[in-house]
Amino acid sequence: MYEWYAFFLLSILPLTMLVQFFWSRRKLHECARQFDGPPALPIIGNALSFNCHHMKIFQRVRKILNRWPQPPRLWLGPRLILFFTNIKHVERIMSSTKLAHKSDLYYKTFSDYTGNGLIVSSGAKWKEDRKRIQPMFSLKYSFCKIEMIHRYVDVLVSNLENLVDGDLHDIYPIFHTCCFDINAEIVYGLQLDSQRGNNMDISHAIEKAYQLVYERMVKPWLLFSPIYHFSRNKVERDRVKKIMWDFGTKAVAASDERLKNLQHDNYHEQMPIVDQMNQSIVNDGMVTSRDDMIYQLMTLFTAAEDTMSITSSILVVCFGMYQEHQEMALKEIHDILGPEPRDVTEDELRDFKYMDMCIKEAVRLATIAPFIIRKCIEEMQIGEYTIVPGSEICIPIFDIHRDPEHWENPEHFHPDHFLEENVKKRNPYAYLAFSAGPRSCIGKHIALVALKTIMIRLLTKFKFSAPGKMPDLKFHADISVRLRDGYNVKIT
């Protein structure tokens, strides 16, 4: 008798919990019925579609986007992901303060390495952090760094000279170390000299972190702590995180020494970001702790160096494949600087309109973040769709940047997309390379200054050639979109 009673209790308890789970999520399922998408299994949803190597995940997501009517939906385990590519919908999403909250999907993965930094924080903390940090990346501050950038580009030129008149070569590792050094000095105030092979442990650790974050983000079983705790990803995460944390701690200690010995006021205009944050602790108490400061620095650094590395590399590939645009960019350089190579000044840099167009076009084609994912925290209307709290909204930037409705020549490198008259005709939310709305990129100015400075110097020294055209290239993604087979060019 008692055995049957115990068996009944043990049977009914899991069933009750399961019913309660689905009942609590009934509005999500009602919301999902407004959208088409691939058939989903109970509990795990479409997770099995992503049980593959991380380099194939990006293309599988794109296949779903292209196969199902817009906007499609996807279940990643219990998470409902809604994809919006219609620009009117995108504008509504990106401009809404109600949808300024980053997805928990991002929080659980990024926060392993960057804590509650600017990329993942939401609400009052995000508003306070952004208000404090954004002025540190002003246009004036960006121009102050031109001389320093030239110093690192000199080493880049020297490294590229070793490849002149050789075969096709993947230039990304060379550009990556240059951009890594530039951003290490801007953000951390450290001179790493990684272009000469020094301090490579932190560079390798961050590259590994990108892969681990993306893999956990798209494999729902890794979001469950009991499973993740015993996975190889957890072991790798702990190793990588320690390297990154030790690096940040070292930078803050060096900042303490610099500020202790500070002797002149003019230094403030040149201060690395770490010193500016450090001063805010002493003077304003605006950063709550040293730990928070280290996380914020790692957030800023990883976002900046990855953006510059990928964009400079893909732009060289584009110039190599589309020689006419390389020649036009070089003509602009000669028109402004004259025929003899020399360093560009702040005033001259502002005049490089065509180079600016080329950089923006390269980022359109190889947008850094493949997706933007936001969390719905209250019911709202997006077009004819009612979105409920708990749903995740995804903006697939890569595909929006290739929509022929907004781009005259969507699959090719075509800088005329950014002629003033073309920009005026286009909805501004069709171009999301630096995001848009309240959470737009705060490092846009310094990225453009650095990229223009690098490319002006390189085009006066080298000519690049690359086989094929943009549609021939294959992309994959971790946190960022990258070329699958490398950034291969020939240099003369």
- DSSP string across 207-271: HHHHHHHHHHHH-GGGGSHHHHHTSHHHHHHHHHHHHHHHHHHHHHHHHHHHHHT---GGGGGG-
pLDDT at 42: 80
Mean pLDDT of 271-290: 74
Number of H helices, E strands in the chain: 20, 11
Tokens of 64: 């779903």
Kindly indicate the confidence band of residue 29, based on its pLDDT and cuts at 50, 70 and 90.
Answer: confident
CATH code of the domain covering residue 463? 1.10.630.10
Q: Alpha helices, DSSP H only, in 338-394?
A: 346-349, 353-365
pLDDT at 483: 92
In a domain, residue 21? The reply is no
Mean pLDDT of 71-91: 89
pLDDT at 49: 81
Q: Which of 7-11, 23-27, 326-330, 474-478 comes out lowest in average pLDDT?
A: 7-11
pLDDT at 452: 94
The separation between CA 136 and the C-alpha centre of its own chain, rounded to angstroms, equals 19
pLDDT tens-digit map of 304-359 = 888 899 999 999 999 999 999 999 999 999 999 988 888 888 889 899 999 999 99
In a domain, residue 6? The reply is no
pLDDT tens-digit map of 142-180 = 888 889 999 999 999 999 999 999 899 999 999 999 999
Kindly indicate the confidence band of residue 267, based on its pLDDT and cuts at 50, 70 and 90.
Answer: low
pLDDT at 120: 67
In a domain, residue 280? The reply is yes
Enumerate residues 6+ apart whose C-beta is below 8 A from 325. 318, 319, 358, 413, 415
In a domain, residue 4? The reply is no
In a domain, residue 173? The reply is yes
Instruction: Please give the C-alpha separations between residue 294 and each of 134, 182, 278, 301, in angstroms, as whole numbers.
Output: 17, 19, 10, 11
18 pLDDT higher than 60: no
Mean pLDDT of 235-252: 92
In a domain, residue 79? The reply is yes
pTM: 0.88
Average of per-residue pLDDT values in the chain: 85
In a domain, residue 472? The reply is yes
Number of domains in the chain: 1
483: phi then psi, degrees, rounded to nearest 5: -75, 130
Q: Which domain holds residue 399?
A: 27-491
Tokens of 470: 């943009």
In a domain, residue 13? The reply is no
Q: Which of 24-28, 121-125, 214-218 comes out lowest in average pLDDT?
A: 121-125
